Amino acid sequence: MFIEPHINKGGWIEVVCGSMFSGKTEELIRRLKRARIANLSVGIFKPSMDTRYHVESIVSHNDNMIGAIPVLASHEILEKSVGFDVIGLDETQFFDQDIVIVCEKLADLGKRVIVAGLDMDYTGKPFGKMPELLAIANYVTKLHAICMQCGGTASYSYRITTNKDQVVLGEKDHYEARCRNCFKK
């Protein structure tokens, strides 16, 4: 379980990762709402390519939502985060290669940076810049889903369509959460 730091003179980076349907966005929204309850100013960003649920919000599979600013490039986050104490990023695996530098700069400016994203792609390989963010994060939370084949603990996103592109936006029509054994079958 994640325990929010109560005294920290500088900024830090938190990563929430896991497979599809593990609750990453739900956890991100929960942390951002708690920050608002604490009267902290919150800036929320998402890649503009992610239009699955809403163009200007992040939405969990449980239909919880919170407004977000879509950006084309990660450097825009630096420009648009002035005045915010807490920065939330969803679908972080889709940001460009500069996202690690951006997160480090934000933390160095004293901001709490909370990123959520897939740690592995549909082939089980590290996804985007998430491995680097995991390495530099001050706090890491790995969430798990329920295997849609056997009911076990799932940490893989299995693509049920034949498309071989690394990035295919989709939901239950394209993906299943699977445990290690069911993923490898």
pTM of the model: 0.89
Residues 6+ apart with CB under 8 A from 10: 107, 108, 110
182 DSSP assignment: H
Neighbour tally for 163: CB within 10 Å: 11
pLDDT bracket for residue 37 (50, 70, 90): very high
> What are the backbone angles phi and psi of residue 28, rounded to the nearest 5°?
-60, -50
* Residue 118, amino acid: L
CATH 3.40.50.300 fits 12-143, yes or no: yes
Alpha-carbon gap, residue 135 to 129, rounded angstroms: 10
Question: Residue 170 CB: number of other CB atoms within 10 A?
Answer: 14
Of 29, 31, 94, residue with least CA distance to 62: 29
Alpha-helix runs per DSSP H in the chain: 24-37, 75-80, 99-108, 130-136, 180-184
**pLDDT digit string, tens, across residues 81-140:** 999 999 999 999 999 999 999 999 999 999 999 999 999 999 999 999 999 999 999 999
Instruction: Check if 91 is active-site.
Output: yes
Contacts within 8 Å (CB) and 24+ apart, 51-55? 51/169, 52/169, 52/170, 52/171
How does residue 66 score in pLDDT terms, banded at 50, 70 and 90? confident
Catalytic residue among 91, 104, 132, 176: 91
